[in-house]
Structure 1
Amino acid sequence: MSGKQVYIFDTTLRDGEQVPGCKLNTEEKVDLAVRLEEMGVDILEAGFPVSSPGDFQSVTMISRTLKHAVVCGLTRAVQKDIEVAAQALKYAKRSRIHTGIGTSDSHIKGKFNSNREDILKRAVQCVKWARNFTDDVEFYAEDAGRTDNEYLARICEAVVNAGATTLNIPDTTGYCLPHQYGEKIAFLVNNVPNIDKAVISCHCHNDLGLATANAIAGVIGGARQIECTINGLGERAGNTSLEEVVMIINQHKHLGFYTNINPKLLNPMSRLVSDTMRMPVQPNKAIVGSNAFSHSSGIHQDGFLKDATTYEIINPVEVGADESKIVLTARSGRSALAFRLQQLGFTFNRNDIDVIYESFLKTADVKKEVMQEDLYELANAYQLQVSPVN
């Protein structure tokens, strides 16, 4: 496949599970992990093993089960965390330890009551500990979005020298604007001497609704891994949405990137995660929302019925969604009404539709949506009007 691969790091089972009410048991986690691997996820963050016996068990079982994807466990820059993660991951065919520490002045002073030099030493130490167990170590510079770029570059150079193979540059608070985040990644590409020995990863939060835009800006700036979740689940306002970044990369082929994700599994996966985590998907959610391929405005409906590409840049079949829907409301026009009546088996000419449309508008003004049974009533009433029963 031509182009540069962007690795998809799915953290639905770790960061996504941090949403209140979305806690999963081991069986649910393993089932979702298998489906995520089938969909083409490259790296699957299975959990935070030291956080609880349940999470340790889940990471262990996922490690035993997956055949192709890298199984990743999260840790703090704490030796015990790393040792426990290594224990949980020991059965994985391909394992990764994800360790790190906060690097912004806000975290260094407010969270750790420390200083930059001490944090730099701790960053290097945690990577060295992790390298005792695996040669696939990812370092996260928590709150990198608000970290001074020069200091962040120093941290990155030091942890790569210590053995880190992936550098996670999180916009932990969702603060960055897309151009700022993209420039931060580009700065690291141009100013970390050993950057060629590591993959830069984007982990963006959605506090300002910019997670997807920031992740794509990061890739354009030089990152080659995106950390994301199904349906954008995650801490607070959520994470970068997997389905969104995958389809942006698919649609904008001129960018020169590709992923291993099978897009036809995006909607089935979204529904499975929604059902399993008991977290509904908002109807207007991009790619996987119930309204993502629905048309209710008359102007849109008329254009869509003439040529679907006028209002749909993605064929719903491409992402495993149900077929496009023409939803009838008071904003709908005659062409949409005629189309829906034809779907029900009625054949009316233009004059017929003009007459039925007047009755349709009266119904539509009363109801939020004109349903199938309403159309039958309107059509049958018109037929009785023009061909009364003797």
Structure 2
Amino acid sequence: MITNPASKYRPFATVDLPDRQWPSKRITHAPRWCAVDLRDGNQSLIDPMDGERKRRFFDLLIKTGFKEIEVGFPSASQTDYDFVRSLIDGNLIPEDVAIQVLTQSREELIRPTIESLAGAHRAIVHLYNATSEVFRRLVFNQDKAGTIALAVSGTKLIKELTEQHPETIWTYQYSPETFSFTEPEFALEICEAVMDVWQPTPERPIILNLPATVEVATPNVHADQIEWFCRTMTRRDCAIISLHPHNDRGTGIAAAELGLMAGADRVEGCLFGNGERTGNVDIVTMAMNMYTQGVDPELDFSDMRKVVSTVEHCNQIAVHPRHPYAGELVFTAFSGSHQDAIKKGFAARKKQNDAIWEVPYLPIDPADIGCSYEAVIRVNSQSGKGGVAWVLEQDQGLRLPRRFQIAFSRVVQEIADRTKRETTTAVIVEAFRHTYGLDGSGRFSLVDYSVSGVDKSGAPRTFTGRVEVDGQTRSITGQGNGPLSSFVDALNTNFGMHLDIVNYDEHAIGTGSGTQAAAYVECVLPDGKSVFGVGIDVDSGEASMRAVLSAANNADSDMGVAK
């Protein structure tokens, strides 16, 4: 990089529009969408799609809800020509869908283009020629008059040829290619000249596609260009203003959104933004942006994973795991603070049953696009108690009390630090079961028991039971004001323990005949340290006893437990 970029590059000129209106506008409805994956996206692939992949992509676009689909450049490729014919001859195009094809303004290309569309119910013929000063000077060696003449001659021929096929509902689309860096006045002049030839009406409008062929300025400048064009042109009611943003500056979606606010009616783009250089505008992201603002995008991405897998197969390009809305990891939180906020958001949603979606860090409900909640939170060394608790609740139905969450998260943190990789659900569950003796690994296990003195006289209750410790069964007794306190007294008396229960929680797991009880205890040792235990059983009383014994198993060896 050079130290003085101003010596080599110059900033793009702004548009003189002091009374611009677009900043106060909002997007309130979906634009007309045109998917250009099968032409613009296809021409950018290392290995262009064959017929099978094109057909599969076309079917996906139809299922998603696109009513305008650019299917190829039939005069430039036999594969494209044959594909267009296969759609028409195979009666594969719904009557409310228009297929679009591209051509340059040359007679030898326009004629086979129209031929390829013979018999189509609805068709859009898309003609383009570059209009910017740098292209006129460096690429075509052509002045403004010659550039206009080229667009006009192509339009005249398309008008003549399409009139010979009245069985088709024709739409004409003209693109002043490189609009983004064409003088605004000249871009308008050439479009007006094309309209003079085509003679559109409000009932039969022309599509004027204003492409940011190369993104050269900030999105607000693009919006100014679009608003100026819409406000200055004549016969605005006879034209559909279309956008075709590219993403050279990484702001293609923003440019398209501001372009709609500036008065455009239509957007051309690709699913996930495939296209030349840095790509076309990403229709999936743009549509889902509208969805999160309460606007129906009129496109259906209810099964986002299916959309991703199909596009990956057809393009042979992977969708990035952090791609907005569609990436494998976009609804996944590893950060402890994020996990805690998400967990609290879901908990509040359950209590309030509010239709409005409000979950921190999740701008959209993953379920709306066919994604489950299981992978919303995943655990690694950056995670905290909330993430671990979420995994256990989702996979095991266990709702750990907060202090219990903190204690067990330290166990998982140690595993994550030691392994230096993501800690899977299976690893977390295994660690939980082992830590709290649910796998039978604890030193103590309860064989049987009974509690007497269950009347309401206030007399102490007596625990009588058998506990297996270090492979031997011992009979123990103890007294307390309840089953748990009498069991703790038995453990303290018979094994020299010093457990004191300070917290107890329980909840049901599941519903119906398969319901189990989960019980949690926190006990304090003489040195003030807490130990935790959990018990699970179909009987809540049995679960609470197992929780106490789990805490005993977790007590430090320096408690002086008698052998």
TM-score (norm 2): 0.65
- Of 310, 321, 325, the residue aligned with 1:287 is 325
Distance 1:345 1:296, change over 3 A: same
**Mapping of residues 120-131 of structure 1, within 5 Å:** 120-131=148-159
Quote the Cα distance in structure 2 between the aligned partners of 1:9 and 1:210.
19
Q: Is the 8 A contact 1:33 1:66 kept in 2?
A: no
Quote the Cα distance in structure 2 between the aligned partners of 1:371 and 1:319.
24
Quote the Cα distance in structure 2 between the aligned partners of 1:11 and 1:158.
26
DSSP 3-state at the match of 1:14: helix
The answer to whether the aligner puts 1:383 opposite 2:436 as a matched pair is yes
| Aligned position for 2:208 | 167
TM superposition shift of 1:373 = 2.7
TM superposition shift of 1:22 = 4.4
| Aligned position for 1:78 | 106
The answer to whether the aligner puts 1:141 opposite 2:141 as a matched pair is no
Quote the Cα distance in structure 2 between the aligned partners of 1:381 and 1:93.
67
The answer to whether the aligner puts 1:243 opposite 2:271 as a matched pair is no
User: RMSD over aligned Cα, in angstroms?
Assistant: 2.1
Higher Rg of the two aligned structures: 2
| Aligned position for 1:65 | 92
| Aligned position for 1:341 | 392
**Mapping of residues 224-243 of structure 1, within 5 Å:** 224-243=265-284
Quote the Cα distance in structure 1 between the aligned partners of 2:392 and 2:291.
35
| Aligned position for 1:97 | 125
Distance 1:388 1:35, change over 3 A: same
TM superposition shift of 1:271 = 2.1
Distance 1:155 1:265, change over 3 A: farther
Letter in 1 for 2:125: I
Q: CA-to-partner distance for each residue in 1:254-290, whole Å, 9 max, x for gaps?
A: xxx7543123144422321112221101111111111
| Aligned position for 1:194 | 235
The answer to whether the aligner puts 1:317 opposite 2:367 as a matched pair is yes
Quote the Cα distance in structure 1 between the aligned partners of 2:48 and 2:147.
32
The answer to whether the aligner puts 1:49 opposite 2:77 as a matched pair is no
Distance 1:319 1:368, change over 3 A: same
Q: Is the 8 A contact 2:288 2:297 kept in 1?
A: no
Letter in 2 for 1:335: G
TM superposition shift of 1:82 = 1.6
Q: Is the 8 A contact 1:30 1:61 kept in 2?
A: no
Q: Is the 8 A contact 2:53 2:313 kept in 1?
A: no
Quote the Cα distance in structure 2 between the aligned partners of 1:299 and 1:350.
14
Quote the Cα distance in structure 2 between the aligned partners of 1:192 and 1:202.
16
DSSP 3-state at the match of 1:279: coil
DSSP 3-state at the match of 2:105: coil
TM superposition shift of 1:73 = 0.6
Quote the Cα distance in structure 1 between the aligned partners of 2:121 and 2:367.
34
DSSP 3-state at the match of 1:65: coil
The answer to whether the aligner puts 1:155 opposite 2:199 as a matched pair is no
Larger helix percent: 1
Greater mean alpha carbon deviation, residues 269-278 or residues 150-159: 269-278
| Aligned position for 1:108 | 136
DSSP 3-state at the match of 1:158: helix
Quote the Cα distance in structure 1 between the aligned partners of 2:385 and 2:407.
10
DSSP 3-state at the match of 1:288: coil
User: Structure 1: which 5+ runs fail to align?
Assistant: none
TM superposition shift of 1:240 = 0.4
| Aligned position for 1:25 | 50
**Mapping of residues 253-292 of structure 1, within 5 Å:** 253=294, 258-292=296-330
Quote the Cα distance in structure 2 between the aligned partners of 1:119 and 1:111.
12
| Aligned position for 2:338 | 300
| Aligned position for 1:364 | 416
| Aligned position for 1:331 | 382
Distance 1:341 1:322, change over 3 A: closer
Structure 1 residue ranges, 4+ long, deviating more than 6 angstroms after superposition? none
Distance 1:107 1:266, change over 3 A: farther
TM superposition shift of 1:76 = 0.7
Q: CA-to-partner distance for each residue in 1:64-121, whole Å, 9 max, x for gaps?
A: 4111311011111111222111111113211111111001011111111111111011
DSSP 3-state at the match of 1:49: coil
DSSP 3-state at the match of 1:318: helix
Larger strand percent: 2
TM superposition shift of 1:349 = 4.3
Letter in 1 for 2:420: K
Q: Is the 8 A contact 1:284 1:290 kept in 2?
A: yes
TM superposition shift of 1:239 = 0.6
Letter in 1 for 2:328: S
Q: Is the 8 A contact 1:188 1:195 kept in 2?
A: no
Quote the Cα distance in structure 1 between the aligned partners of 2:426 and 2:280.
41
Greater mean alpha carbon deviation, residues 330-339 or residues 141-150: 330-339
Q: Percent identity?
A: 24
DSSP 3-state at the match of 2:302: helix
Letter in 2 for 1:137: Y
User: Structure 2: which 5+ runs fail to align?
Assistant: 1-26, 163-169, 201-205, 347-358, 445-469, 471-563
Letter in 2 for 1:168: N
DSSP 3-state at the match of 2:120: coil
Distance 1:293 1:211, change over 3 A: same
TM superposition shift of 1:320 = 3.1
- Of 216, 220, 223, the residue aligned with 2:264 is 223
